[in-house]
Structure 1
Amino acid sequence: MRKIAFWTLFLYAMYALFFAFYLFQWTDSSIPAQYKGTSADPATFLTKKELMLAEQFSGVKNFLFFLSVPYEWVIYIFVLLFGLSARFQQWAEATTKRRFMQTAIYVFWLSLLVQVVTFPLSYASYYMAKMYHISTQTFSSWMRDELIDFWVNYAIMVVIVYVLYALMQKFEKRWWIYAWLCSIPFTLFLTFIQPVFIDPLYNDFYPLKNKQLEAKILALAEKANIPAEHVFEVNMSEKTNALNAYVTGIGGNSRIVLWDTTLERLSEDEILFIMAHEMAHYVMKHIYWGIGLYIVVTFIGLLLTNRWMKRMIGRFGALCRIEKWNELASLPMFLLLISLLSFAASPAMNAISRYEEHAADKYAIELTKNKEAAISTFQQLTRSSLSQVHPPYLVKLFRYSHPTILERIISLEQK
């Protein structure tokens, strides 16, 4: 146990040290020489102070991201090594004989522990966003969102874990196939209800107040053969200075949403370009392709987890005080493997997402015929979020679900 604990902490420290040097010493985020002086050059649309702040904020934000992912793995490993998972299961079984309630009790203690231990990194991210004036959210408001996150994730996790371990115990060899089949309707259900029941827990949504702008957006939607009746805005200015718009939900619950910060700071032509971009996701059925890809990735993830989890528990189960691979105490091992696989798959998933976003940009230009508005939109997005135009390669690989601002503007300039 000591050996595993030592090597876990040592490898995490080496990993953190590598990314500290990589992000702050070894990489250069300046744009290639051939793009100097173009509309993609941040020096042409940001002040020297904004350039400096963007580099500082992006570096810290990226470092916190790379710290947080394996930090979660370290937590799960130590929960297993020190027998905390087995203890949580004992508490649950001593409290009630009903399996669902045992699951609820176990998941509560595990979720609470993870929430408490990860709080410093979460707060650091909030504090940095606040310090660089990206976030406008008060601490009490941020804590409210953290609590909502906890309880929403807890409720979803209890259902998932209860079904998952019921399948593990009933179908020891084929549980992962049945779990995958169950995940399909569950994923569709969550995607369907998110705009109506989950998102409003965090913010207020209402039809776009500017009816003239809404009429132009709906005319654009009609031009793209989209049966839209309303565009929604959300009061994000209470929480952030960043700009955004997105498409969410499926079927009758799908929505096009504009942040009020976007409405306040962008011109009408820039807003219409953003709306055309979001409409492209609807026209090209990117939401459905995304769900389909998620279902495929889930199948592969559960297949590999089934193989590795049994081997890991077989080898280290006694050390972690776990008797069977399919008892509740093995959940941190399951979550550890899922998190590792998700992180490993993220470069490929991000690459696919960047391809879709690039296609949406192209569609938006064809629909609006306004390249200048598109370029100025990306420049404004850079300014509002203090993001890097040309981020380091590993940051793009693991973090960027959208093309970099450099790639997006250069692509527009070449049209």
Structure 2
Amino acid sequence: MKKRFLFWTGAGYIIYAALVFLYLFVWTDPGVPAAFQGSAADPSTFMTQREQLLSQEYSRYQNLLYLLSLPIDWIIYAVILVFGLSYSLKKASLGKLPLYVLFLSAITWLLTLPISYISRRLSLDYGVSIEPFSKWMRDNLVSFWIDTLMMVLVVFVLYWLIRRFPKRWWLYAWLMLVPFMAFLMYIQPVVIDPLYNDFNRLTNPELEESILQLADQAGVPAERVFEVNKSQETNALNAYVNGIGDNLRIVLWDTTLNKLSEEEVLFIMAHEIGHYVKNHLMKSLLGVLGGSLLGLYAVYRLLPVVLRKWGEAWKIEGPSDFASLPAVLLLLSLFTFIAQPVEMAVSRQAEEAADAYAIDLQPDTEAAIGAFQQLTVSGLSDVNPPTLIKYLRYGHPTMLERLSMLIDEKGS
């Protein structure tokens, strides 16, 4: 079984990698459709030839890395199960669930760290990132410990529920997930985000006043605007509104302040305010919770089937044995992948609505076009990505779609 698994997994991955390479480098062409050539959506009108070349290369390599790494977690979990390593980890942890989760998390983190490093090197080589290795490694370690501690808590509760309520554990787990997710959304701006960056009040008081006026006009209860120093890490631009209740924060990266005019910044902030006004944060939370309910129910139905077929070979006693965790994670990961195109489509609709709201709130199409063009240049973004990449990776409309919308708005 093990040799057969290795052969078919290896052969399948090689075939998959070849198809990915052909799709990105042979079957798809960079550039924009003829109808948009010469327009504000055409990179040749706002990027140099070198910037266009770097953008195409960078996007292709990042997309290649993404698609090649997509099944890696599945393979890791499958290897751990097929080779009985989950049982070995359970023994090494002396039957203590927190230690087991720590060992499992450490293995997956270490095995996927090279992929993160390659992505970082690409960003450095193409001038998108300038983050020192020490800061990058520190952030990765912080993420590892935060994720591990949260997983210990979640897994402990999950397996207690499986043992206590074998027929309804999935429902009770979801009911407990609702307040947990809301709590995380509430504390993220003031507890989690500051672990990665320092947040200070916006250094430009006139711009802050203009942003707060926009927020007040839209009914956003904000009293200050936060600036985060990202210029020592990246050349990319970003701004966002996150948090709920009295922890709501309006945040700008200093790279955005340095590279955009005041009118362009105000359009970007109007877009972010649009997310709040249209309740996209809460709708996103509801979407995650709805998907979680379906995912937990799918695990409830499928996990016993999987363990009846292979549990003995994997030395897993049943669903209540926490050595089954890799199987749970594998099933949830597959379910997440299946749902990903739907999630991305919903996200793109929300972003499109926020763009439309921003134009109504801050009707300066020239500034809006300039902001999107600068976002493209700074991040070496692909204006018109391949279709598969759009559906799997793009939570925003493509820049071609966003810029063409503004062109139509300008002409109307």
Q: CA deviation at 1:141?
A: 1.1
TM-score (norm 2): 0.97
Q: Secondary structure at the match of 2:333?
A: helix
Structure 1 CA distance, aligned partners of 2:243 and 2:189? 6
Give the structure 2 partner of residue 169 of structure 1.
163
Among residues 365, 375, 378, which one is paired with 2:359 in the alignment? 365
Structure 2 CA distance, aligned partners of 1:5 and 1:195? 44
Q: CA deviation at 1:325?
A: 2.1
Question: Do the aligned partners of 1:276 and 1:363 also contact (CA within 8 Å) in 2?
Answer: yes
Q: Following superposition of structure 1 onto structure 2, how do residues 6-405 of structure 1 map, counting pairs within 5 Å? A: 6-93=7-94, 102-405=96-399
State the AA in 1 paired with 2:87: A
Q: Secondary structure at the match of 1:237?
A: coil
Q: CA deviation at 1:6?
A: 1.9
Structure 2 CA distance, aligned partners of 1:12 and 1:166? 36
- Paired residues in the alignment total 408
Q: CA deviation at 1:131?
A: 0.7
Structure 1 CA distance, aligned partners of 2:289 and 2:113? 31
**Unaligned runs of at least 5 residues, structure 1:** 95-101
Q: CA deviation at 1:320?
A: 1.1
Question: Do the aligned partners of 1:314 and 1:325 also contact (CA within 8 Å) in 2?
Answer: no
Give the structure 2 partner of residue 98 of structure 1.
none
Measured against aligned partners, the alpha-carbon deviations of 1:262-310 in whole angstroms (never above 9, x if no partner) come to 0011000000000100000111010000001111111111111111111
Measured against aligned partners, the alpha-carbon deviations of 1:33-56 in whole angstroms (never above 9, x if no partner) come to 011100000010001100000000
Question: Do the aligned partners of 2:225 and 2:250 also contact (CA within 8 Å) in 1?
Answer: yes
Question: Do the aligned partners of 1:9 and 1:74 also contact (CA within 8 Å) in 2?
Answer: no
Give the structure 1 partner of residue 401 of structure 2.
407
Structure 2 CA distance, aligned partners of 1:64 and 1:313? 33
Q: CA deviation at 1:5?
A: 2.6
Give the structure 2 partner of residue 99 of structure 1.
none
Structure 2 CA distance, aligned partners of 1:271 and 1:129? 24
Identical residues among aligned pairs (%): 49
CA RMSD of aligned residues (A): 0.9
Question: Do the aligned partners of 2:222 and 2:248 also contact (CA within 8 Å) in 1?
Answer: no
TM-score (norm 1): 0.97
Q: Secondary structure at the match of 2:114?
A: helix
**Unaligned runs of at least 5 residues, structure 2:** none
Q: Secondary structure at the match of 2:240?
A: strand
Question: Do the aligned partners of 1:16 and 1:67 also contact (CA within 8 Å) in 2?
Answer: yes
Structure 1 range deviating more: 83-92 or 334-343: 83-92
Measured against aligned partners, the alpha-carbon deviations of 1:72-111 in whole angstroms (never above 9, x if no partner) come to 10000001111111111112235xxxxxxx1210011101
